Amino acid sequence: MEILKDRIRKDGKVLNGNILKVDNFVNHQVDVKLFNEMGKEFKKRFNGYEINKIVTIESSGIGIATIVSQYFDFAPVVFAKKTIGGNFSQESYETKVYSYTKKQEYNVKISKEFINKGDKVLIIDDFLANGNASLGLVDIIKQAEATVVGVGIIIEKGFQEGREKLEKEGIRVESLAIVEKMEGNKIYFK
Amino acid sequence: MEILKDRIRKDGKVLNGNILKVDNFVNHQVDVKLFNEMGKEFKKRFNGYEINKIVTIESSGIGIATIVSQYFDFAPVVFAKKTIGGNFSQESYETKVYSYTKKQEYNVKISKEFINKGDKVLIIDDFLANGNASLGLVDIIKQAEATVVGVGIIIEKGFQEGREKLEKEGIRVESLAIVEKMEGNKIYFK
């Protein structure tokens, strides 16, 4: 998606070799107009597929998933939670996800009420790198006997193994921008 | 907002006296069509005000803030972060917020890049109870020498002191549903 790649070239910052910071339009400040363009693009990429639910993981997946829903007939968005709050249902599907960025293992949970057997789920997230977060969501969706129609990603780090792991599970991955390598402050796309 | 009150009556659950659970359409599963109706309503309530930024706090404020932006000329959404990640900017405005729901104090931060002197900010959040989260955001916005135009809330617990504290600071509060009391499983609105 050219306008996204241009924006990453303009506003993305490469930190410590492998971290791509896009927090002025994706995951701290959010450009909602650009998110709508992404929503349209995901609709094109998954056109003709039956999708009745959008699943993401808190926090930075929530904004894009909410906008994407508007292009899939307002399919309900369910966001997986990373910690147990006082009002979290005891009845949930759970899995563990290790975050390399935060160097921490999370319990990831979705209440059993919100993923039903037979659901056709589109997973949406901001980043795909090693694939741990997406694979955690796939695990939860399978526990619910629902189907993962595909994974839609804003930015994929093409030099990490996330796509390979997901495709090995037979899952279609659509990324709006695939970073092939980062050198100094320069970002190369596939 | 009548359709919201009807939905809370239908789907809201009262837990342990003071917790109102609306996780099947607000803060775990999200009804994006209803969020758009809320966006329109916030636009009505803050019509004529100059607003160039929407500020919220992760996680459950992000969805509604993102949708609300669409009704305010796609004003950028900035969401305050509760924990320090590996790629968080060191240059941020900070405050502390105590969450009664999670019985925990958070560091709440927004990167200095994303709130500018003179910004006219609308704060959006899902709940207003004791007001701690909103007051934390007000504190951050004032540190940046920006102006809080108002606070827009989906559900206010009218029997707690959040509104009073905000109004004492001269801040306009608009809540789409104000719960006056909860008894057993019954919810009374103001």
Instruction: Collect all residues with Cβ–Cβ distance below 8 Å to B63 and sequence separation of at least 6.
Output: A62, A63, A65, A66, A77, A79, B30, B32, B35
Please state, in angstroms and rounded to a whole number, the distance separating the CA atoms of residues B111 and B55.
Answer: 12
pLDDT score, position B105: 85
Contact across the interface for A77 and B21, Cβ inside 8 Å: no
Instruction: Collect all residues with Cβ–Cβ distance below 8 Å to A55 and sequence separation of at least 6.
Output: A65, A77, A78, A79, A80, A110, A115, A121, A122, A123, A124, A137, A140, A141
Smallest CA–CA distance from B92 into chain A, residue: A28
pLDDT score, position A99: 82
Residues of chain B with pLDDT under 70: 17, 83-90
Contact across the interface for A29 and B78, Cβ inside 8 Å: yes
pLDDT score, position A17: 66
Contact across the interface for A81 and B28, Cβ inside 8 Å: yes
CB pairs under 8 A between A and B: 120
Residue A188 — very low, low, confident or very high, per pLDDT cuts 50/70/90? very high
- Which residue's structure tokens are 């992404």? A38
**pTM of this prediction?**
0.95
Residues A124-150: tens digit of each pLDDT:
999 999 999 999 999 999 999 999 999
Contact across the interface for A33 and B74, Cβ inside 8 Å: yes
Query: Is the Cβ–Cβ distance between A124 and A54 less than 8 Å?
Result: yes
Residue A105 — very low, low, confident or very high, per pLDDT cuts 50/70/90? confident
Q: Angle CA(A139)–CA(A144)–CA(A147) in degrees, nearest 5?
A: 75
pLDDT score, position A88: 47
From the list B85, B151, B167, B26, the residue with the least C-alpha distance to A100 is: B85
Mean pLDDT of chain A: 94
pLDDT score, position B88: 47
Contact across the interface for B15 and A87, Cβ inside 8 Å: yes
**CA–CA min distance B115, chain A (Å):** 10
Contacts of B23 in chain A (CB under 8 A): 87, 89, 111
pLDDT score, position B86: 43
pLDDT score, position A184: 87
Residues A56-102: tens digit of each pLDDT:
999 999 999 999 999 999 999 999 998 644 444 568 999 999 888 77
Contact across the interface for A23 and B111, Cβ inside 8 Å: yes
pLDDT above 70 coverage of chain A, percent: 95
Contacts of B59 in chain A (CB under 8 A): 58-59, 62, 79, 81
Positive/negative CA dihedral, B29, A63, A149, A41: positive
Q: How many helices (H) and strands (E) does chain A have?
A: 5, 11
Specify the range with the lowest mean pLDDT, choosing from A30-39, A45-54, A100-109, B26-35: A100-109
| Sheet of strand B173-183, all strands in order from the earlier edge strand to the far edge | A29-30, B77-80, B53-57, B120-128, B147-157, B173-183, B186-189
Residue A171 has pLDDT above 90, yes or no: yes
Contacts of B11 in chain A (CB under 8 A): none
3-class secondary structure for chain B?
CHHHHHHHHHHCEEECCCEEECCCCCCCEECHHHHHHHHHHHHHHCCCCCCCEEEEECCCHHHHHHHHHCCCCCCCEEEEECCCCCCCCCCEEEEEEEECCCCEEEEEEEEHHHCCCCCEEEEEEEEECCCHHHHHHHHHHHHCCCEEEEEEEEEEECCCCHHHHHHHCCCCEEEEEEEEEEECCEEEEC
- Selecting from A28, A36, A110 the residue whose C-beta is nearest the C-beta of B81 gives A28
pLDDT above 90 coverage of chain A, percent: 85
* Chain A interface, Cβ < 8 Å to B: 15, 19, 21, 23-24, 28-33, 35-36, 58-59, 62-63, 65-67, 69-70, 74, 76-79, 81, 83, 85-87, 89, 101-103, 110-111, 113-114
